[in-house]
Structure 1
Amino acid sequence: MKRSLLLRYTLQATSLVSFVLLIANLSYPLGQENVVLQRFSRLDPWLLLSQLRWQQKIPAWSWLPLLTLAFTLLWGRIFCGWLCPFGAFLALTDQIGRAVFKNLTLARTKVLPALQPMRYYWLFFLLIVFVLGSNWVFFLTPFALFSHEIVRFLQGQVPWMLVGITAGTLFLSRLWCSVFCPTGVLLSFAARLRFFRYRIMGSCVQCEKCTAACSVGTAPLSTGVAKEGCLACGNCQRVCPTKAIKWQWSFWRDKNDRLASADDVAATRRQESRRQFFKAAFTVALAAALWKKTVWAAEKALRPPGALPEPEFTAVCNRCGRCVQVCPSNALHSMPITDGLANFETPYIIPRIKRCDLCLACQEVCPTGAIAKVPLEKIRMGRAVINKSRCIAWSEGKSCLICGEQCPVLAIAADEYHRPSVLTDKCAGCGSCENACPVDGEAAIRVFPS
């Protein structure tokens, strides 16, 4: 038992420290750390679902999320309890909360189990929104959310989501992992079929220590078996004074087994069927209503080089922020909520502030394929358009070809009067011309998204 605890702590510490360092050291030019980060992130089954939904193909790395599902079918949510970096961070936060707020033990033991049924309505909601064509909820998956918040912190911004989830964990243990994490909820559903689980084998004295020790409210006290949300952490087994909790084969039965009978379960389900029907109907209505809100978006934005066409880009992007972190020219920004829910936290470029250097590092770090790997000569982010009434070469007859001098793809030519014109078949839409334009205020040459 001590060996398993040491192994779990070692894996969690390694996962957490490695992930934070990989994100913090993500810079151009990219090294081997990007390959490690990509493979680590692709353990999340939601990424595979995203590829199947929008790319209609099975990626070469599909064995990674399938491996996670295989481990879940064997041992339950062992990924969440042993390997997830965000889960490791919240486990550490939970330990701090239990040490500081000892008087909240009763609240944890009552609130967490009571909220367990909510996770399946949440999963139902996520799947409906997913099928209807919106991917903004994938921002809540652990790798994307944790990565995004680390990037915000490194850029001097307040990671509000991380602050809120951390505060909730201090008071109510791993409520996020248990109820709201999309990956955790999906794996909980798969864990209903797991082969091994913790069980009470007959010598229980009803001390409720297992319930108090469980960080996700799935202790086996009430039903005799750990519920599907169990993280396989073993805390319940370690605190049991009579050693009544055992790690057993799921289909094993004993005369002292305290599992409810199939008839009891069926009767309970019949009694609650009407209430569950109305809850499910409400979930569908809410998902459909919020999906319509995702259509609301502001004017099209200038996306990174290689970005998929809108709205496919906003559907596939999981808002992890890695492209923003790796951009050597700091040209990429995250869109605010004022630009629409569909665009929220997706990367875009403001050429007047910073131009894209066309280094294509964003293509290498994107874990979902929202920024596809497109050769430099085929990049068409947008199209530059000259406003002749503002251009001093056209309106005042002055000699100015700064935009042409800064163009990395030689897409701006000059006529016999040294007036610039855009060669649209060559323009990559990088924004170098708009960024360099010497005209005060709005540039005389602007790049519009393609």
Structure 2
Amino acid sequence: MKEKRTNRREFLKVTLGAFMAGTLFNSCDLSRLKNPKTMIKSPIGPNILRPPGAVSEEHFAQKCIRCGRCGEVCPYHCIKYFDVKEAGVFSGTPYVAVLEKPCYLCMKCVYVCPTGSLVPCAKEDVRMGVAVINREICVTWQQDKTGLMCKTCFSVCPFSGVAIKIDHDFRPYIVEEYCTGCGICAYSCIADTWPENHGKKAITIMPIKWKKIKEIKLSDIKKA
């Protein structure tokens, strides 16, 4: 009975989102709005990302029909859907909250999307976002203080040695052009267990849409 109520809520949420999107986007392309960032604010942000293969955010809400197939096919149940209160016209569209459950790049979602909102691509070509390491929080970058030399992010990365590498002092760093933004490293980061970090992870996955990868700085993470 509880499962039926949950399914009903999901259905109503997705249906309402589709109605709102259809009403607002039927004759409106976000790319043509005078200032889309202030008129219609996307809920995508640090650690809150679109699934693999997503088209640009300015077109996503227009293309996505809120069918829910991407979430249904995901074996890891990492795909969730925005509701009206938190996303407005983006309600019903899919997202991945990587700190709750990252994307494991099974790539099933891109092949069931009926509208091309999620475009089929190889795992190595996925660009959900880019990982940014806060060296002030990373226990390995702060090993003189923590006495720890953690390699968790390096070990769990699907493209270890390519997207994440280790320097001569065994400290991890991101090779931005190869990072898929899957969030597995951020999810697995143990920096939040170090008392002085007050529950903060050392890795944040930043949406690439915010700015060019090369311009992402530590200050951006602190503000998020």
Q: Which residues in structure 2 correspond to 1:345-364 (within 5 Å)?
A: 345-364=92-111
Q: In the alignment, which residue of structure 2 is the partner of 1:445?
A: 203
Could you tell me which of 419, 424, 427 is aligned with 2:171?
A: 419
Whether 2:186 is the aligned partner of 1:434: answer yes
Whether 2:31 is the aligned partner of 1:306: answer no
Structure in which a larger fraction of residues adopt helix: 1
Cα contact 2:42–2:57 (8 A) shared by 1: no
Higher relative contact order (CA 8 A, sep 6+): 2
Q: Which residues in structure 2 correspond to 1:163-242 (within 5 Å)?
A: none
Deviation of 1:385 after TM superposition, in Å, equals 0.0
Q: In the alignment, which residue of structure 2 is the partner of 1:263?
A: none
Uncovered stretches (5+) of structure 1, i.e. residues with no partner:
1-152, 164-180, 183-282
Could you tell me which of 76, 79, 82 is aligned with 1:335?
A: 82
Q: Separation in 2 of the partners of 1:390 and 1:338?
A: 33
Pick closer, same or farther for the CA change 1:417–1:333 going to 2, 3 Å.
same
% of aligned pairs identical? Answer: 35
Could you tell me which of 367, 377, 382 is aligned with 2:124?
A: 377
After superposition, the C-alpha distances for 1:244-290 in whole angstroms (9 at most, x for unaligned) are xxxxxxxxxxxxxxxxxxxxxxxxxxxxxxxxxxxxxxx99xx99xx
Normalising by the residue count of structure 2, what TM-score does the alignment of the two structures yield? Answer: 0.70
Normalising by the residue count of structure 1, what TM-score does the alignment of the two structures yield? Answer: 0.36
Deviation of 1:158 after TM superposition, in Å, equals 5.3
Amino acid at match of 1:401: K
Deviation of 1:321 after TM superposition, in Å, equals 0.9
Q: Separation in 1 of the partners of 2:138 and 2:85?
A: 31
Cα contact 1:294–1:340 (8 A) shared by 2: no
Deviating above 3 A after TM superposition, structure 1's stretches of 4 or more consecutive aligned residues are: 153-156, 160-163, 291-294, 296-301
Q: In the alignment, which residue of structure 1 is the partner of 2:136?
A: 389
Cα contact 1:294–1:341 (8 A) shared by 2: no
Amino acid at match of 2:111: E
Largest Rg, 1 or 2: 1
SS of 2:204's equivalent in the other structure is strand
Amino acid at match of 1:448: M
Q: Which residues in structure 2 correspond to 1:236-315 (within 5 Å)?
A: 295-300=40-45, 301-315=48-62
Pick closer, same or farther for the CA change 1:409–1:162 going to 2, 3 Å.
closer
After superposition, the C-alpha distances for 1:209-232 in whole angstroms (9 at most, x for unaligned) are xxxxxxxxxxxxxxxxxxxxxxxx
Q: In the alignment, which residue of structure 2 is the partner of 1:402?
A: 152
Pick closer, same or farther for the CA change 1:424–1:358 going to 2, 3 Å.
same
SS of 2:57's equivalent in the other structure is coil
Q: Separation in 2 of the partners of 1:395 and 1:310?
A: 36
Amino acid at match of 2:40: V
Pick closer, same or farther for the CA change 1:160–1:430 going to 2, 3 Å.
closer
Deviation of 1:416 after TM superposition, in Å, equals 1.7
Q: In the alignment, which residue of structure 2 is the partner of 1:81?
A: none
Q: Separation in 2 of the partners of 1:358 and 1:446?
A: 18
Q: Which residues in structure 2 correspond to 1:52-131 (within 5 Å)?
A: none
Cα contact 2:44–2:207 (8 A) shared by 1: no
Q: Separation in 1 of the partners of 2:159 and 2:5?
A: 34
Pick closer, same or farther for the CA change 1:302–1:359 going to 2, 3 Å.
same
* Deviating more after overlay: 433-442 vs 404-413: 433-442
Q: Separation in 2 of the partners of 1:416 and 1:434?
A: 22
Aligned residues between the structures: 177
SS of 1:391's equivalent in the other structure is coil
Amino acid at match of 1:447: I
Cα contact 1:413–1:421 (8 A) shared by 2: yes
After superposition, the C-alpha distances for 1:302-349 in whole angstroms (9 at most, x for unaligned) are 111100011111210111111111111111111122332232111111
